[in-house]
Chains A and B, each alone.
Chain A
């Protein structure tokens, strides 16, 4: 598939994530939108990886060009998993303190 299809797809997915972050006040939904954006980035990385692979593949089917991108995706997933565990713990704390998961109430934490 032409690379720009993947770019537009990832861009659309990323923008939906942004709009979600901007329009929703539920901290968990906001968090999920962040995951959405991360996945958009992952998808684009994999697409680029295969784009580079295609150039080298014609000459040598066993070439490993573009493998770094897929490893990056792997590490992003690792970090995302760690981030989710901490983030959800924070949300639980927020709820415990404010009885709500509304991000606009986060300013109550300043006192």
Chain B
């Protein structure tokens, strides 16, 4: 087991554990903090896959901007363990079973796919090598082939900003 594999298993375990803690924590603030940890772990995965640009963007946008926004709202609304709405235990059970069904059925499909067909069999990812995750390569493609979607996404941002202001305005 080399270093990459060790890191992969460690980061995977960290991701899943933190994700579970997100949904299990009673206090929303703790959930946010666990979610930030999930993002860090995923960024670690990106680094392992040599997607350096996305690793940094993930940290800056998600862990940095979005989660701060969440935290900000939670604290603005003064939510804590006591204000957490109580949910029916049967509803929780039903939700878990439904999600479990989803997990089992899809993993069964994937299991059959990798054994039954050549689509996924013996396929692996390139670890730590390759140039596509680098800022230079991505930037070139983004500003040549994908320049119009990129500009349109700026319009999307603008409209989201206007929308947020309008919705959040006090009548």
Contact = CB atoms under 8 A, between A and B. Distances in A.
B110 A4 contact: yes
B154 to A, nearest CB: 9
A64 B4 CA distance: 23
Interface in B113-162: 114, 120, 123-127, 129-133, 137-138, 141-142, 146, 149, 153, 156-157, 159-161
A57 B62 contact: no
Contact of A92 (B35, B73, B86): B73
Contacts of B142: 71, 74
A89 B167 contact: yes
Interface residues of B, number: 85
Contact of A29 (B23, B83, B94): B23
Looking at chain A's contact residues, the main secondary structure is helix
A20 B23 contact: yes
Nearest to B46: A46
Interface string A17-43: 111111111101101110110010011
Contacts of A95: 77
Contacts of B10: none
Nearest to B160: A82
- In order of increasing CB-CB distance, the 9 nearest A-B pairs are A22-B95, A19-B99, A82-B160, A20-B23, A54-B126, A15-B103, A102-B85, A50-B125, A89-B167
Interface of B: 4-5, 8, 12, 15-16, 19-20, 22-23, 28, 31-32, 35, 38-39, 42, 45-46, 49-51, 53-54, 57-58, 61-62, 65-66, 69-70, 73-74, 76-77, 79, 83-87, 91-92, 94-96, 98-100, 102-103, 106-107, 110, 114, 120, 123-127, 129-133, 137-138, 141-142, 146, 149, 153, 156-157, 159-161, 163-165, 167-168, 170
Interface of A: 1-9, 11-13, 15-26, 28-29, 31-33, 35-36, 39, 42-43, 46-47, 49-51, 53-54, 57, 61-62, 64-67, 70-71, 73-75, 77-86, 88-93, 95-96, 100-102, 104
